[in-house]
Chain A
């Protein structure tokens, strides 16, 4: 790289940091205050239940982030469900269906890999299945006016029970009770020299989403639709189409997450779906914590993964329950509900003064 372009690069980066400093600062404050609030609330709950919060948090953070490979592995599905919530929200939709989109991704990936012995086909099949389910929710919203929150929750439960039925009634493993048919050995994805392959795939997917969002016209139109439908129409965009695309992409992310989970970590699905249950909902918190940005989501998913792993250690060492993570997520989401609209409000106030 020549001297000129290097200095230009530094100039651009520092210029960018300075001008967007206000935005970064605000984001930083919101994110950290919601985290602090969550840890405080969690600490109170722990204390009420008779545990020592400091001890618990100490173990949580020390052991949670110990084994890197496991940490990254576990963060993979969370990253994907985080994207599953974030992308549609950028276009203005609340995708609560990350759960079922992940279930179907995992299940279809399982079947595809079982019959074709190929992890590639497994991944593709799972991703497409998730995407179609997501698009379905989007279509219901656009063409029938059905609120996507209700429809996605209903679909979540429908597929929850449907897949439980299929695993316990049809695709069960006769040798192992309560488990589905396993992924054949040659279709499984293992870490390569301690590097988590599924994490790498997830990061690639996140980068792809980043590119779509900020470097393609589809992403641009989605963003405009989410910020101002009136401007979208003025620009000649079709807001309905953008919304469906966003659900397609969101569902595909969750589907990919499910596929990677089953191909790279669990290698089968249990008939209570306990390995996959709740990942979609956690993704909502991750999407918000990651400020709806693929990079932020990668970081948030690693952080949460650490919390979840740390929670298991906490249970081992102190007997305190690992479900603390759900509590923390809940507080984070609630705390972030406020600044999210705060930003909207600020921009709306600015717009109003602009008109006057």
Chain B
């Protein structure tokens, strides 16, 4: 029993990392008024890139760095399209998701002749803490970083002048501009911060969790992160809690079928799919409940045109 709980906590700590990093990052981006639907694409693309890098260098930390770079570049693309070219943010994000998915799969086939998954790569070691007699609680180092990022983001947004400026852009860009804020450049760097954090989370999916790139490496997690942003009422601290909350459901949806198979000895391939519904159903229900109660940044998603 205790072993199960420790295992679930360990798994939750793993699964909360990408969700939290992306959610906190997107909170910053959306607080400035830009919505980046392309989180899913960034996850996939940075996951793939870190797989290649780690495969060839056998160094998972380089993989993480490559993920960060991909995240940054993706944010740059989205930022330019949304802010300077006044493109439709939703369509640009959706397009990016397709593009990232396509390029990744394309390269997967080209490099490894596989339509499903890549070879396994080195992973980042975890911190193991023995509990009781024989079980160990595994704490991924990035989970600590994710928690720190969440708290730091909250501090930055609400307690510093630059955070004030970001929030101003998201509420009323016209007044912000009139008060001397450069809305365009502020929104751009808010987008870059968000996308870079997401890139880190995407790389982690491979080098910290699954250990290889697969077609379903992300499976909608980028969108769960988006839902988490709304769920947390655009507050990084709540996004952190939400990351743990949704990460928990993500973890148990994988853990329970495996556990059931172990205990009963029966094979549950079909039913395992049923459990995979849990995180998405939870997200839908939660969003349904809180949507009327949260308040999004007033200027979110609307292109700002300087007069």
A-side residues, CB < 8 A to B, are 45, 49-51, 94, 96, 140, 144-147, 149-151, 153-158, 161-162, 164-165, 168-170, 281-282, 284-285, 288, 320-338, 340-342, 345
B91-107 near A? 1/0 per residue, CB < 8 Å: 11011111111110111
B164 within 8 A of A: no
Q: Looking at the assembled complex, report how far the CB atom of A304 sits from the nearest CB atom of chain B, in whole angstroms.
A: 12
> B280's contact among A157, A164, A329, by CB below 8 Å, is which?
A157
Known: A147-B230, A323-B102, A338-B81. A345 touches B95 (CB 8 A): no
The reply to whether B91 and A154 form a contact with Cβ atoms under 8 Å apart is no
Q: Which of A157, A335, A337 has the most CB atoms of chain B within a 10 A radius of its CB?
A: A337
Known: A45-B106, A151-B287, A330-B99. A337 touches B88 (CB 8 A): yes
Q: For A149, what are the chain B residues with a Cβ–Cβ distance below 8 Å? A: 37, 90, 223, 226
Q: For B87, what are the chain A residues with a Cβ–Cβ distance below 8 Å? A: 334, 337-338, 340-341
The reply to whether B284 and A144 form a contact with Cβ atoms under 8 Å apart is no
Measured in the bound complex, the distance between the Cα atoms of B107 and A147 in whole Å is: 33
Measured in the bound complex, the distance between the Cα atoms of B109 and A51 in whole Å is: 12
Measured in the bound complex, the distance between the Cα atoms of B105 and A328 in whole Å is: 13
Q: Looking at the assembled complex, report how far the CB atom of A286 sits from the nearest CB atom of chain B, in whole angstroms.
A: 11
Number of chain B interface residues as a range: 35 or more
Q: For B280, what are the chain A residues with a Cβ–Cβ distance below 8 Å? A: 154-155, 157-158, 161
Measured in the bound complex, the distance between the Cα atoms of B92 and A342 in whole Å is: 13
The reply to whether B103 and A151 form a contact with Cβ atoms under 8 Å apart is no
B-side residues, CB < 8 A to A, are 37, 77, 81, 85-88, 90-92, 94-103, 105-111, 219-220, 223-224, 226-227, 230, 269-271, 273-274, 276-277, 280-281, 283-284, 287-288, 291-292, 303, 305
Can you report 24 residue pairs joining A to B where beta carbons are below 8 Å apart? A50-B110, A94-B90, A94-B91, A145-B291, A161-B274, A161-B276, A161-B280, A162-B273, A165-B271, A169-B274, A281-B97, A281-B98, A321-B110, A323-B102, A323-B108, A326-B99, A327-B102, A329-B99, A333-B95, A333-B99, A334-B81, A336-B95, A337-B81, A341-B88
Q: For A282, what are the chain B residues with a Cβ–Cβ distance below 8 Å? A: 98
Sample of 12 more A-B contacts, CB < 8 Å, known A154-B224, A321-B110, A323-B109 = A144-B292, A157-B277, A157-B280, A158-B280, A164-B273, A165-B270, A323-B105, A323-B106, A326-B102, A334-B92, A338-B85, A338-B87
